[in-house]
Amino acid sequence: MFNLMSNCCTWFSKIQEPIRKVTVLVVGLDKAGKTSSIRGMLRAGPTHGCIRNELRVENYLVTLMDVGGSAESRGIWKELWGEAHGIIFVVDSSDRHRIREVKDVLADLLKQPRVAGKPILVLANKQDKMNALLGSELIEILSLEKLVNQSRSLCHIEPCSALMDLRRWSDRKTLRGLRWLLRAVCLDYPELCTRVAQDSRRPIEPRERGKSEKTEKVRRKTKAERLTILQFFKWSEVV
């Protein structure tokens, strides 16, 4: 009888809690599994080009903004930083060749004034693959503790497999990670809402735009130099 009354009180208190609207920006490199991760949370089919998805999680009405991760698409990110209460950064844990690029992109993201201080969830995706890096390994390789301390952001890394989450009804790691992010947002919800309202109206400053574009140019230049060196060695072998 006591348990029944306790459960009823808990249920009633949840009903009385206000519905909180939360916007989450989902980013990461291309082919990291961002869209699949969102599908794992929604239990839905492909988005067919729609980058905004809504779902209800307990007393939160969540808008997930799925943005492309290619070098050309990352310029869009800065237009959406101000709208987000929190960030989901999806990493392909099995792609060790691009882990340096992941680190550079994540470091640049956390340096942005409109992102710093907001909670960030790192989804260590594709854990079903044999060569996937563990969460503890990613924390060290990405210097995650140092980055989030510098940006004063709450952070959590959730090892997951978006593909496996699509096949099971319970214990979805992607959704568990999202619940952590929502609880983190709730801790500073009024302040984050104020920031979102202000940043959404305020145009992006030239220094914010220039800093991101400069980082991307350096990254492209480095990639071009690597390709040139590779071509040189191939040519030398032929000669």
Annotated ligand binding at 47? The verdict is: yes
pLDDT tens by residue, the chain, 239 residues: 445 445 554 544 555 578 999 999 999 998 888 877 877 676 554 444 347 888 999 899 999 998 888 888 788 888 889 999 999 999 999 999 999 999 999 999 999 999 999 999 999 999 999 999 999 999 999 999 999 999 999 999 999 988 887 676 566 888 999 999 999 999 999 999 999 999 988 776 665 555 555 555 544 554 444 443 334 333 333 33
Residues across the chain:
239
Give pLDDT, residue 231: 42
Separation CA 65–CA 165 (nearest Å): 19
Annotated ligand binding at 30? The verdict is: yes
Annotated ligand binding at 211? The verdict is: no
Comparing C-alpha atoms, which of 170, 148, 129, 168 is closest to residue 32?
A: 129
Annotated ligand binding at 125? The verdict is: yes
CA angle (180 as vertex; 123, 159 as ends), nearest 5: 25
User: Could you state, in order of their start, the residue ranges of all structural domains in the chain?
Assistant: 18-202, 205-239
Q: Which CATH architecture has domain 18-202?
A: 3-Layer(aba) Sandwich (3.40)
Give pLDDT, residue 157: 96
Annotated ligand binding at 117? The verdict is: no
Q: Answer whether 106's CB lies under 8 Å from 142's CB.
A: yes
CA angle (226 as vertex; 225, 231 as ends), nearest 5: 95
Annotated ligand binding at 33? The verdict is: yes
Comparing C-alpha atoms, which of 98, 84, 80, 79 is closest to residue 33?
A: 98
Annotated ligand binding at 69? The verdict is: yes
Annotated ligand binding at 7? The verdict is: no
Give pLDDT, residue 196: 96
Q: Answer whether 193's CB lies under 8 Å from 168's CB.
A: no
Annotated ligand binding at 82? The verdict is: no
In the 8-state DSSP scheme, what is residue 135? H
